[in-house]
Amino acid sequence: MVNELKHTTLTASVLDEATWVGVGTHIFESQTKGDTLYASSTTQLSRLGIGATNKVLTVIGGVPTWQSTLAGLTLTSPTLTTPALGTPSAGVLTSCTGLPMTTGVTGTLAVANGGTGVTAKTGTVAVVLSTSPTLVTPTLSGTTTLGSTPIFDVGSGNAEIDTTGGYVGLILKSTQDSAGGSLIKLEHVSASPAAEDIVGWVGGYGKDSAGNDQAYASMRIMIESPTSGAEAGKIEWHTGVITAWNKAMTLSSAGGLWVDKYFEVTEVAAPGAGAANTARIYAVVDGGSLTDLAAVFQDGTVAIFAQETTPLDSPIFAQPSGVTVTRKMVKPHPGVIQFVEEYPDGKRFVMNELQYHDAEKIAANKGCEGSLPIGWEVTTLQERIDKQVGILDRQIDSVIENANKTLVEATEIMGRIEAIKPINEIQEKELEALKKRLESIPADIKRLNQEREELNEKKQTELARKS
């Protein structure tokens, strides 16, 4: 039978011992080089023909057979040379190199296994794997967009922005078209606010000549009264003197200004009248080389109440002690009245001077020595009131615009809160900050309305005076 063991053709009719044990006297049917002998049954030996190159010998159905693949086998520490593994269902690779990560793997590699755990990203470089990551020395460039009401929490430390340039730093730019611009808000959230608490501090610090840190000046925003319904604040300016602070100036809630030493003003051109119910105090050249201290009132009247008296030819220097002087009122022209002291030699010293620019007062000034000089400013009550009413109208428009803007912002914030609640996209702190801002809006609107009413009252007063 095919592939079974048989004797070769006998040369004699009797199978002797030499033929039985001789080499080459037993062969397989169709025998070729490389064939394998195996028991095909309990009574029969058979031949398995040589397999093709790279075939492996395995067992199927209890008999040997050649196969192209191995299935269900465990290979201990095999050496595979450039194998094509296909798609293995399981396995452990260690100390492997050259695996192509872009084409050699599929699926998402978890963070615990050294991957990112994400399937896509919007950037071009790194992937942030945490909702509250700690970023160490990150570099931000271009335009960085922050979410709604972001909060930077640095605990009890400082947040620092370093720059190597001069006159550069933090810029807040408002790109909307309303009257309101950018805001820097210094807030002290205290459960027990008290008078003299500092709610905000802006300081200037540097080095001294020995390289030591030195505080040079600060502006402090403080509480005058924390009582609800009667809140009041003030601003203090402090200067650094060696290792201590000197309170140099204070602006109270009532508008009172206090200074530690003195005011010093530089000579300026006469500024003209200010707003209704105001007076301007300034230093002005007296027409020669001396300095006068003057005040100008709302109708343009100028009172010169202090003069520099240093000329060497002044009569107060030239005349002896005890000389009798005559006090006179002199009217060089309808715009000026002087109160002078006249000495025996006829020389005069001006003790006080009043200058008028109101048309009615100039017309009422009789018995003057000369006429108004060319260029002397003259205004009427009608002109001054029209000017002040125009200023008040612009202020009222600004208050109304700010109130409307506050209402729009409140509506937008409420809309954002309602939108984010179902999908829970912002943290609890951000929601709390939005809620606090909403709570403060009614008070802001009340304050703006009160300011508008005050401006309207001023306007009505001016109109009444005008009529």
Please, which pLDDT band fits residue 366 given cuts at 50, 70 and 90?
very high
**Section 450-463 average pLDDT:** 69
Is the pLDDT at 10 greater than 60, yes or no?
A: no
pLDDT at 355 over 70: yes
Strands (E), 244-298: 244-251, 257-259, 279-285, 291-297
Instruction: Give the residue among 434, 443, 394, 391 at the shortest CA–CA distance from 415.
Output: 434
Task: Flag whether pLDDT at 445 surpasses 70.
Answer: no
The upper half-sphere exposure of residue 215, i.e. CA atoms within 13 Å in the direction of its Cβ, equals 15
pTM, to two decimals: 0.53
- Note the pLDDT tens digit of each residue in 25-82: 666 667 777 778 788 787 777 788 888 888 888 888 888 888 888 777 777 777 777 7
pLDDT at 21 (0 to 100): 54
Distance CA 155, CA 222 (A): 23
Spatial distance between the Cα atoms of 138 and 117, rounded to a whole number of angstroms: 22
Q: Which tens digits make up the pLDDT trace of 264-313? A: 888 888 888 887 778 899 898 876 677 888 999 888 888 888 877 667 88
pLDDT band, very low/low/confident/very high, at 17 (cuts 50, 70, 90): low
What is the average pLDDT across 233-246?
89
Half-sphere exposure of 167 (CA within 13 A, CB side): 0
DSSP state of 334: T
Question: Under 8 Å CB-to-CB from 406, ≥6 apart: which residues?
Answer: 441, 444, 445, 448
Tokens standing for 165? 């340039």
Q: What is the pLDDT of residue 423?
A: 47
